[in-house]
Amino acid sequence: MAIIQTDQLTRRYGRQTAVDGLSIEIGERDIFGFLGPNGAGKTTTILMLLGLTEPTSGRARVLGFDPARDPLQIKQQVGYLPENVGFYDDLTGCENLRYMGRLNRLPEAQAPALIEEALSTVGLEGEGDKLVGAYSRGMRQRLGIAELLIKNPKLLILDEPTLGLDPDGTNRMLELIVSLRRERGMTVMLSSHQLQQVQRICTRVGIMIKGKLVALGSLDELSQGSPGDKARPNLEEIYMRYFKEA
């Protein structure tokens, strides 16, 4: 069963079309890289998938639910990490997690164990009692993932998860994403414009430019017909080719 399926999904703001007839399908245990320049409509698409924005036309299904009609069912099973996620800086990491747990109606008795587990999964053991205001950017981003993990989601939607991280932080984030898929069987959709990273971990890629999906498929599929070494497909070349065409 497809985890995410959209059919001619369109969103217009006034005259401007942010997302234009998007049809994609993301299968179970995919790591789907959603690429495109700034303002291509990636975030708008994500918001429509979560039911936070209504599509102008077209349909979407996430985990079998229609986001426009049953957003709560979707939000229960989908972990969404917004771009530049924020926290309550005057609370500790654990308190932030506990609040999110309560909003997700996790049983109070299990919360401490779940929080501990989530923190150790993202490599923040022992940091939970510090105020979030004192966290580094990489730690904040990993705390953001921990917030998603406490509800044990089937699908993770990450908006620019590695933006602004140093190389070490980026590596840890990418490894974390890969291990979540491998060990917990989660499906991941991540938007990014950092191509090398996407190339390293994604099983499938979609390229979106000016609201239109211009390419969809695995790296190997996309690299056919592109110049350069066929054995080592290079996402950057593929991307630039589509970018120039558009």
Footprint of other proteins (CB under 8 A): 43-44, 47, 50, 52-53, 72-73, 75-76, 78, 80, 82, 84-89, 99-100, 102-105, 147
What minimum distance in Å lies between the beta carbon of 180 and other proteins? 18
Greatest Cα pair distance, the chain, in angstroms, is 58
What minimum distance in Å lies between the beta carbon of 108 and other proteins? 11
Q: Which residues pair with 76 in a beta bridge?
A: none
3-state secondary structure (DSSP) of residue 151: coil
Nearer Cβ to other proteins (102/230):
102
**Rounded to whole angstroms, how far apart are CA atoms 51 and 40?**
19
Tell me the two tokens of residue 94. 């654990």
Sign of the torsion formed by the C-alpha atoms of 219, 222, 226 and 230: positive
What minimum distance in Å lies between the beta carbon of 106 and other proteins? 11
Nearer Cβ to other proteins (50/219):
50
Nearer Cβ to other proteins (19/213):
19
Tell me the helix, strand and coil percentages in the chain, rounded to 5: 40, 25, 35
Nearer Cβ to other proteins (10/53):
53
What minimum distance in Å lies between the beta carbon of 90 and other proteins? 8
**Rounded to whole angstroms, how far apart are CA atoms 242 and 244?**
5
What minimum distance in Å lies between the beta carbon of 221 and other proteins? 31
- Report angle CA 94, 81, 115 to the nearest 5 degrees: 25
| 31-35 sheet: strands from edge to edge | 78-81, 155-159, 187-192, 31-35, 204-209, 212-217
What minimum distance in Å lies between the beta carbon of 156 and other proteins? 12
What minimum distance in Å lies between the beta carbon of 146 and other proteins? 12
Nearer Cβ to other proteins (109/231):
109
**Rounded to whole angstroms, how far apart are CA atoms 242 and 236?**
10
Nearer Cβ to other proteins (78/180):
78
Q: Which phi and psi (to 5°) does residue 11 adopt?
A: -140, 125
